[in-house]
Amino acid sequence: MSATDLAARADRPPSEPGLDAGAEEERAMARLHERMVVAVRKTCPPTLRDRADDLVQVAVLRVLKLRRERPERTFSDGYLYRTAYSALIDEIRRLRRRGEVPLETPTDDGDERPLVEPTVEDADPEQRAGARELGVAITDCLGRLVPDRRRAVVLYLQGHGVPEAARLLRWGAKRVQNLVYRGLADLRGCLEAKGLDGGLAAGKGATS
């Protein structure tokens, strides 16, 4: 089954009358493929994004193999996603070990695009250099935070909301909210002390 086939099958309406188990499986795999491609394109550097279809195809094939080796067993979506994720990470790491993708994210030139969301400022190489400088500074400043504040802030920067971070860390939501709030204030102070005004590289001209 090719990536194109999977994408086409993901578009079919759900629960068509008379749809057999095989067709249902194809739809489930197509949906999984589609979501994984979106996730790779959203979180990975360009060198990996450009190979998203191939990477995900390897992961989906592993899931298909698992299901076909044990047809008597019903796998939950959670299990299948976990299996696919493991296969995807294995494949990404394999590419890195073989040197097929660079460890370093392109910065000053080339086809660099932001990893999270595209913005106008990222079109400017100088801005990209500023962002890189900021990333290094953030790493250093995070290392200086009180451990619990650092954990809460790291999860927040990783995209977790406060309730979710509280659940992962097994702390109360109110406490995590305080930790994030104060941790971000500490981070801002540290960045300002480094000459990065409120998270903006001094002299880079970016404003919000």
Partner 1 sequence: MTGHDLPTIERWRRAFARRSAVDTAVDPATDTTPTPVEPDTIWRAVRGELPAAETRALVDRLVDDPELAREWRLAHELVQSLDTTDAAGSDDSVGDREGTVSAFPVAPAVDAPRRWRPRAMLAAAAMLFLGLAAFLLLDTPEPTPPIWRGEDVAIESALPAATVLPRDAAELRWRGPEVDDDATVRWSVDVLSETLEPVSRATDLDTPHLLLELSRLEPFADGTVLLWRVTARIDTADGEDVVRSTTFRTTLGPAHSASGGASGAID
Residues 19-48 that bind partner 1 (CB under 8 A): 31, 35-36, 38-40, 42-45
We find the least distance from the C-beta atom of residue 16 to partner 1, in angstroms, to be 16
Is the CB of 8 or the CB of 189 nearer to partner 1? 189
Task: Work out whether 173 is an interface residue with partner 1 (CB under 8 A).
Answer: yes
> Footprint of partner 1 on residues 65-124 (CB under 8 A)?
76-79, 81-82, 84-86, 88-90, 92-93, 96, 103-105, 114-117, 119, 122
Residue 159 near partner 1 by CB under 8 A = yes
Shortest approach of partner 1 to residue 42 CB, angstroms? 6
Give the CA distances from residue 129 to residues 69, 98, 133, 183, in Å, rounded to whole numbers and listed in that order: 49, 28, 6, 25
150 is a site residue for partner 1 (CB under 8 A): yes
What is the C-alpha separation between 68 and 70, in angstroms, rounded?
5
- Going from the C-alpha of 181 to that of each of 56, 149, 185, the distances in angstroms are 37, 9, 6
Q: How far is the CB of 4 from partner 1 (least distance, A)?
A: 21
* Sequence-ordered list of residues with C-beta below 8 angstroms from that of 188, at least 6 positions apart, any chain: 198, 199
State the number of binding residues for partner 1 (CB under 8 A). 84
